Amino acid sequence: MRLRLALRVRRGMGVRSGEHRVPGRTGTEGIEIGGHRSYAPGDDLRHLDWNAFGRLDQLVVRRFTAERAAAVHLLLDASASMGVPARDRKLATASALAETLGAIALATGDSVRVAPLGGAPGARLGPTLRGRGMLMRLRTLLAAVTPGGTVAVGAALAAYARTQPRPGIAIVLSDFTGEPDELVAGILALRARRYDVVLLHVVGPGELDPSREFSSGVLRDVESGETHPMRLTRALRARYAGILEEHLTALRAVAERTGAAYARIVAGTPALEAVSGELVRLGIVRRR
């Protein structure tokens, strides 16, 4: 099935002038009129603007701009929390979203790079992929990402900005279990490099309603190892719901404050449904 979708890139990011087509694209897609200049001998006569000649009694040539292929960075949180609760399959959902968005980027001539944040030992930055033929390679890279260890997402984003200075689109896929304010420095570091930043918050059904997974017993933090005996009473559930709503509100506020796009996706939602529905509605993805 052909995906007639494209990532929406901030206007002005990665734009160059000229009278040419974008590599990997056909026709005039991505070409826009960027103004006029006086005709000079040797100019392509097809670019003469006869309407302007009728108004100005002067030969002028249309100038064009072409959108440079964007560099799409898929920053995938692979910390241990992405693997629990196991049946929520948060990492699997995030990987499927990354694959779908990566496939859209490859199909529209953009380059794609997979960057695990945290994860099992050996997780590393993937190579730059270009062209539709790289979809299987993209799948292989994403399938190799397994949850493990801890990661401070904000610090990881700041470090990525330092090592990858070329502007592009940074799509961060995470459960964002840390303090929202800790993301600010990392997002701003990417924005300072002229990245577009998209935060895709993958939240598990078991996080939205912990009674699906637990009623009483001992909870263990999979990243710190700390344990907490707990009984999930009605009062505790109500308190948890309030804390969760505060957390979600704070994440949205951080996104607004830093100029990042934000979307919340419930784990288990089919990737194409989320991309063609919620992400199109929010303007992160556009229909072609």
> Whose structure tokens read 């108004």?
55
* Encoded tokens for 89: 């399959």
Alpha-carbon distance of 98 to 200, in angstroms, equals: 10
Q: Look at residue 88 and tell me whether its pLDDT is greater than 60.
A: yes
Range from 64-78, 157-171, 209-223, 270-284 carrying the lowest mean pLDDT: 209-223
Burial-class residue 142 by CB neighbours within 10 Å (0-12, 13-18, 19+): buried
Alpha-carbon distance of 95 to 98, in angstroms, equals: 5
pLDDT > 70 in the chain, percent: 80
The Cβ-side half-sphere exposure at 220, using a 13 Å CA radius, reads 3
Mean pLDDT for the chain? 84
Confidence of residue 78 (pLDDT cuts 50, 70, 90): very high
Mean per-residue pLDDT for 14-22? 34
Distances (CA, A) of 170 to 229, 243, 245, 284: 39, 28, 26, 12
Alpha-carbon distance of 157 to 99, in angstroms, equals: 20
* Beta pairing, strands 129-130 & 111-117: antiparallel
Of residues 152, 111, 168, the one with CA closest to residue 134: 111
What is the pTM assigned to this prediction?
A: 0.78
Confidence of residue 70 (pLDDT cuts 50, 70, 90): confident
* The predicted structure's pLDDT at residue 30: 45
* The predicted structure's pLDDT at residue 189: 97
Confidence of residue 212 (pLDDT cuts 50, 70, 90): confident
Asked if 201 contacts 93 with a C-beta cutoff of 8 angstroms, the reply is: no
For the sheet with 15-17, list strands across it.
15-17, 60-67, 31-38
Alpha-carbon distance of 248 to 77, in angstroms, equals: 18
pLDDT digits (tens, 9 = 90+) for 90-102: 999 999 999 999 9
Q: Look at residue 225 and tell me whether its pLDDT is greater than 80.
A: no
pLDDT digits (tens, 9 = 90+) for 118-174: 876 667 889 999 999 999 999 999 999 999 989 999 999 999 999 998 889 999 999
Mean per-residue pLDDT for 250-266? 97
Q: How many other β-carbons are positioned within 10 Å of the β-carbon of residue 156?
A: 20
- At residue 172, the 3 state secondary structure works out as strand
* 71-287, CATH topology level: Rossmann fold (3.40.50)
Give helix then strand counts, H and E, for the chain.
Answer: 9, 13
Ranges of each domain in the chain: 23-67, 71-287
pLDDT digits (tens, 9 = 90+) for 26-54: 444 444 455 677 767 666 677 777 777 67
pLDDT digits (tens, 9 = 90+) for 269-284: 999 999 999 999 999 9
Confidence of residue 63 (pLDDT cuts 50, 70, 90): low
Strands annotated E in 39-130: 60-67, 71-77, 111-117, 129-130
Range from 70-84, 205-219, 254-268 carrying the lowest mean pLDDT: 205-219
What amino acid occupies position 211?
A: S
Of residues 75, 25, 104, 107, the one with CA closest to residue 285: 104
pLDDT > 90 in the chain, percent: 57
Confidence of residue 13 (pLDDT cuts 50, 70, 90): very low
* The predicted structure's pLDDT at residue 185: 97
Top mean pLDDT of 27-41, 187-201, 204-218, 231-245 is at 187-201
What amino acid occupies position 253?
A: A
> Whose structure tokens read 């529209």?
108
